[in-house]
Each structure stands twice: as C-alpha cells, then as structure tokens.
Amino acid sequence: METRAPVPALPPHVARAFNARVLDPASAPRTTRDSRSARDGESPALQPTAYVADSLLVRGLPGGRASEVLEVIAGVARERGVDVGGFAETDHRAAEVTQDRPATEEAWTSRLSLIPARPLEGAVDAWTLLQHLLESDANLAASVSLNHVMAMTGPGYGAAGGMWGYVGGMWGYVSGMWGYVGGMWGYVGRGLAEYGPGFGGRTPVAFCSPDPRTLVDVPGDAPVVAILDTGLGRHPWFTDDSGAPLPGVLINPVLPGGRAGRTFAAADDPERTGAVSDPLNGGLDAAAGHGTFVAGIVRQRCPQATIMAIPVLDASGHAEEHVVLTALGRLAEARRASEYRVDVVNLSMGYYPETPGLLGVQSPLAAALAGLTRLGVEVVAAAGNDATTAPFLPAALVDRVAGVHSVGALNPDGRSVALFSNGGAWVREHAVGAAVVSTVPLTLAGSARPGVVSADASQPVHPERSTIDPDSHGSGFALWSGTSFAAPHVAGDLAARLLRG
C-alpha cells in the first residue's frame, strides 16, 4: 500500500475551470516561520495537493474575524505584486444572516480573491503568497489557508487519478472507446479491470423492484440526509416527469443566506445528458449521475429518509473547497434556525492535504464539520479510491472531529476490502462499495453506440436487435464501484437507526 499521497490528476479543462494548480513538494517555496511546525525551526513535510491559484481561504466572516486580518494580507500582497479583490458575495450574505452568532463566526471560512497588480509580470500563485504571509506573521497560519480543489471518490479513480489510473474515467474506459484495457493513461489491469465495466465506470442494468419508499410508512419526522454531490437528476424515485421533486426530496433548497449549492445552467448540469466535459465527442462525464447514484443508495438503505440534494461538484467531479464549506455552513445555520432538520450529511469527495503531519490543525474543513456535528449532525465521508494510506480529507478527520464517519469500500461479498479502497488506521468503517446497483438519471446518454445492431423484421414491436448500449441509461439504473458508494450505505443506515430511536 502506498503511503505517499498520489499526485492529483487535473485534466486541462479542470485546471482552466478552477484556475487550479498542483503543489509540487520538490519545488514549492517554503517558509520556516510556520507556527504549526512540528518542532521549532522545522516545517512539516509537504505532499502534492490541488488548489485554486487565485484565492485564499480566511477563517471567519466579513466584518468579523476575517476582516481583522485583511489589512495584513493586503499589505504583504501589495509588496508581492498582488491586489486583494475582496471576499466572496456568499460570505457577505452569510454575515448579514448570522450577525452576532459566535458559533457561525468560528466555523465559517471566507474566500478572498487575488488579482495580479501587474498582469504582464505573471499569474498569481496562492501558495507562494501564503508563504510570504507566514514569513511576515507566522500566526496567520491560524487564519489563512489554501482553497483546495476537492474531487469525488466514485468512479474508481479517486481524487487524483491515482496509482491505478482512471478506472472508467473519461480517457480510461476499460475496453472502451480507445480500445485499451486499462485506458490511455495507464494499465488498470492488475486485478482492477473488473471494477470498471461500461463507459465511465458505470454499466447500465435493469432493476426489477419498485421504489422502496412506496413499500413503507413514512413518519412525519423522517430523518433528513443531505447529499453534497453533483445534484439529483430526473428519476421516478425522486422526481416527476418534468424533473420536479417528489415528496421526501429537496433539491438545492433555499437556506439561510441563499441556496447552499451551486446552480448549474442546463448545458453544464452533470445530472442531465452527462456530456458536458467532452462536448466535441459527446463522451459521458466522469461525474455524470454521481449524485443520483448516491441518493439511490440512501433510498435503498432508508426509504423513509428525506433526501436533500446539494449540488457542489461539477461534471468533472470537482469543486472548490470554499463551495463545499459554504454549503456546510448554510446547513448548520438551517439546523440552528430549525428551518430544515438535517440529521446526516454525506460527502463522497475530498482531497489530500499538503501537510498531513498537521492533520486537522486549524483546518477550515474541520471547523465547518465540527460546527455541524456539535449540533448533533452525523457526517459520513468516503475514504477515497487510490489504494493508499495517505490521509484523505474529510474522512481522515475522524480523530479530530467527533461525529465524522470514515468509510472504505468492501467487495460485494461484504468481507474483503475492494482493491481500490484507501486504507490506514483512519479508515474506521467499511460497507459494500464495489459493483453496487443504484439509480442514475433517465436522461444519461453519451455518444457511444452498441457494438452490434441489426434489423429484425420478425418482431414488429421491437424491430431492432443489438448488444447493450454501454452509455445509455434509459433504464434509470447502473452498476458502479467506489468508496463514494460505500459512504451513502452508512449514511442511510445512520438515518434508519434514527427512525428506530
């Protein structure tokens, strides 16, 4: 098992969309004046991580704790040719809603934009500026951090592409479009090919059972499971024919300060056609239908639960850490205000931190999760799919934040750990996450076609014969593998336990 964090794989379209970079420990500048150092004069070892180059995270709300350090940041930034553009609009709205709430101030993290003062002299780099800030005032480590790029952990490639390559990822179709078993970016053989059938890791299947919710009595105080993911697509378990949510389903509801998740234009919605990242070829996105699949697992484990779908991941399966932090903060405010009683939060995503030796120390993600768990909310996080023991956040915060569940994946036998699943002492729970059957949007269809198609004049009702179309999901169900799908198994079980009292 590899103990070093894998190097994040950022396809060009992802790097452009997020202005993201990968931290290279071998060449990244470091300051020795870091108050979080393990010993005096020694900074903790760096690991690769992906981050947004033109923003920093600052603990607290505008007008409160965050603004107290803004002048210090702006002064150092100006000396380095960087202008501070101000805090994100979402943070200002949160400040208006949560005035005089110390708990919110402590748990909230704001996004500070960075702009090159002299554009022709080079782009802004948040990591380099952060090192200058710490050199100026080591205590800023308690307030300022990178805005990481978080990635889903579902279609078998983990947050980084990882040592196993993309099992079913956009270019790594197992026996897929490019014909390479194991894909264009590396061999996935070595025992892993069986985890990635179909295109994008998901295989269309038929599921011969009604919606489990129709078979149970739903109490008025049913538990609420919030799923931070790609959203929720059209499916008869969750929506009517127009896509409107059915009873027991909330899709990106308005919470204190606004909607917790992103609002996608139709052309960018990962829960619609599933062909956003590769429009020229029409291939299925890595994350297409991911949120719907996770929701279907929760529905199977606890049919009575109300599902709250919060879109944070884009079609490639990535999100700014700040977007996720904002969603967590708004869920906490909704719980405090009793507008929505959120009981369980599922996070099938994460990232490898640049300083695993300081796991959870002054982490914005740890603070946001603690703000939820102190209110009685259980947080379930997937362990990641890179077959490494390197800590993967938020799952690896299990020892830092009470109420966090870190979940690895089992094979269908329920006894053996799936080969792709991350491991280590921080992975405390396991559930079946390989070859899982669940829901996908009825609209999910890529450009691939069946390998064999022929006419059949003997069958007037069904005049065509063919092999299975590998990326057409009109059945509404698929087979998929990943720790992303072990986590909602546990989330659903926690909700069911609440029902039993």
User: How is 428-488 classified by DSSP, letter by letter?
Assistant: -EEEE-SSEEEE--TT-B-S---S-EEE-TT-SSS-EEE---TTB-TTSEEEE-SGGGTHH
CA dihedral 312, 318, 322, 325 (to 10 degrees): 50
Question: pLDDT, tens digit, for every residue of 264-273?
Answer: 999 999 999 8
Residue 182 falls within a domain, yes or no? Answer: no
Residue 11, pLDDT score: 87
List of residues 6+ apart from 89 with CB closer than 8 A: none
On whether both 116 and 257 belong to a single domain, the answer is: no
Same domain assignment for residues 387 and 472: yes
Alpha-carbon span 433 to 418, nearest angstrom = 8
Q: What is the pLDDT of residues 129-176, one digit of tens each?
A: 999 999 998 889 889 999 999 999 743 344 444 333 333 333 333 333
Whether residue 195 lies inside any domain: the answer is no
Among 92, 118, 151, the domain boundary falls at 151
Q: What is the DSSP track for 37-105?
A: -SBTTBPPPP---EEEEEEEEEES-TTTHHHHTHHHHHHHHHHTTEEEEEE-HHHHHHHHHTTT-HHHH
> Degrees (nearest 5) of the Cα angle 269, 11, 261?
30
Q: Check if the beta carbon of residue 361 is closer than 8 Å to that of residue 36.
A: yes
pLDDT at position 184: 34
pTM of the model: 0.91
Average confidence (pLDDT) over 384-399: 95
Task: Report the pLDDT averaged over residues 445-472.
Answer: 88
Task: Report the pLDDT averaged over residues 443-461.
Answer: 88
pLDDT value for 446: 85
Highest mean pLDDT out of 29-33, 91-95, 244-248: 244-248
Do 377 and 305 lie in one domain? The reply is yes
Say whether pLDDT at 181 is over 70: no
Q: Is residue 183 a part of any domain in this protein? A: no
Q: Is 21 helix (H, G, I), strand (E, B) or coil?
A: strand
Whether 442 and 304 share a structural domain: yes
* Domain boundary pick from 151, 168, 184: 151
Residues 141 and 274 in one domain: no
Number of domains in the chain: 2
Does any domain span residue 193? no
Classify residue 186: in a domain, yes or no: no
Q: Which domain holds residue 33?
A: 12-151
b/e 333-358 (16+ beta carbons within 10 angstroms → b): bbbeeeebebbbbbbbbbbbbbbbeb
CA distance linking residue 383 with residue 422, whole number of Å: 6
| pLDDT given at position 361 | 75
263 occurs within a structural domain: yes
Residues 44, 117: one domain? Answer: yes
Average pLDDT over residues 403-412: 97
Q: Tell me the pLDDT tens digit for each residue of 295-353.
A: 999 999 999 999 999 999 999 999 999 999 999 999 999 998 877 889 999 999 999 99
Does 142 lie in the same domain as 209?
no
For residues 134 and 264, membership in a common domain is answered with no
Q: Show which of 120, 151, 182 is a domain's final residue.
A: 151
Domain shared by 238 and 136, yes or no: no
pLDDT at 450: 86
pLDDT band at 36 (very low <50, low <70, confident <90, very high): low
Mean pLDDT taken over the chain:
87
In the chain, what percentage of residues exceed pLDDT 90? 64
Residue 351, domain CATH: 3.40.50.200
